[in-house]
Amino acid sequence: MSARALTFRAAALILLVAFITAPQLFAFVFKPLTVNDAPAIYNHGSLLALTLSHLRTVFLATLASTVLAVGLGIFVTRPSGSEFLPLSRSLVNIGQTFPPVAVLAIAVPLVGFGEKPTFIALFLYGLLPIFENTLAGLSEVPPQALEAAKGMGMNARQRLLQVELPLALPVILAGIRLSVIIGLGTATIGSTVAAKGLGEVIIAGLQSNNVAFVLQGGLVVALLAVLIHDGMGIAERAVAKRLGRPVDEVA
């Protein structure tokens, strides 16, 4: 990573942290956007608390989807689960035509308002990319590597834990990253169903016709997503490098 790219990221991170912890310092930027002396900075709650609860929802939901999706991915690539493999692949394709908002919207009448429908939507939708990439990663393991592992006397469990999963890890991580990014967006929309999160700022701005709120909410969510996406990408490349595999640059 070049020095310039590093300073750029560091600057973006510092800006984000500064804005979330002390938004009043930036009031002068947003003041020109307001009319009728409306507040320039979101004043119904602390941005820090909203950010933390936003991140907590995304983290917990992604953790749950990762456990289930990787487990399912392992199951359908074993001989005992092979009858589910063709259907799994089509389901992944079909599932992706389902908009994340739809999952959220259907969950509301079933479980009520608040964190619950958001968590369910994030969890369900987050399964897809992770499951797809677990399938792809596990089926891309070179047969020679498996043969070699078998030749060394490893049993199925050892092959899975010591050969297949490590080799598939970068691809699985890419799936988790995609899930997290989709989750950040869906959690933002979750504010329409009263989940605590950064979407609240945008929604409040839309309802009170305060462009300053809309813009600051949008910028914080955008910066957060870009930085997390970037950070996870760096972690993926580090893992891939340790495995000595060629690295796919962002394409």
Partner 1 sequence: MSSLRPHLSLDRLGSVIAVLIGVALFASPFVVYRANRIVAGEGRMLTAALPPAGALGIILTGIGVALCAALLRNPLPRLAAAILGLATVVPIVGWSATFVTPLGNTFARVSPGLGFWLLALAFALLAADALTRLRLGPWVRLAAIAVAAGAIALLLLSGAWNDLSLLKEYANRADSFWQEARQHVWLAFGSMAASCLVGLPLGILAYRVRRLRAAILQILNIVQTVPSIALFGILIAPLGYLATHVPLAAALGIRGIGAAPAFIALFLYSLLPVVANTITGLNQVPAAVTDAARGMGLSPRQRLWQVELPLALPVILAGIRIALVQNIGLATVAALIGGGGFGTFVFQGIGQTAIDLVLLGTLPTVALSFATAIVFDAIIDLTRRGPT
Q: Which residues bind partner 1 (CB under 8 A)?
A: 33, 81, 83-84, 86-87, 89-91, 93-94, 96-102, 105-106, 108-110, 113, 181, 184-186, 188-189, 192-193, 199, 202-203, 205-206, 211, 214-215, 217-219, 221-222, 225-226, 229, 250-251
The amino acid at 144 = Q
The upper half-sphere exposure of residue 80, i.e. CA atoms within 13 Å in the direction of its Cβ, equals 4
Q: Taking the complex as a whole, how short is the minimal distance between the CB of residue 248 and partner 1, in angstroms?
A: 12
Asked whether 42 and 27 are in contact (CB, 8 A), the reply is no
Residue 74 or residue 146: which is nearer to partner 1 going by CB? Answer: 74
Q: Taking the complex as a whole, how short is the minimal distance between the CB of residue 87 and partner 1, in angstroms?
A: 4
Asked whether 141 and 167 are in contact (CB, 8 A), the reply is yes
Distance CA 245, CA 206 (A): 47
Residue 66 or residue 216: which is nearer to partner 1 going by CB? Answer: 216
Record the tokens describing residue 48, joined without a space: 């820090």
Phi, psi of 46 (to 5 degrees): -80, 135
**Residue burial 132-145, b: 16+ Cβ < 10 Å; e: rest:** bbbbbbbeebeeee
Q: Taking the complex as a whole, how short is the minimal distance between the CB of residue 8 and partner 1, in angstroms?
A: 11
Q: Taking the complex as a whole, how short is the minimal distance between the CB of residue 110 and partner 1, in angstroms?
A: 7
Asked whether 103 and 125 are in contact (CB, 8 A), the reply is yes
Q: Taking the complex as a whole, how short is the minimal distance between the CB of residue 138 and partner 1, in angstroms?
A: 19
Residue 146 or residue 206: which is nearer to partner 1 going by CB? Answer: 206
Residue 154 or residue 226: which is nearer to partner 1 going by CB? Answer: 226
Residue with tokens 């429908």: 117
Residue 15 or residue 145: which is nearer to partner 1 going by CB? Answer: 15
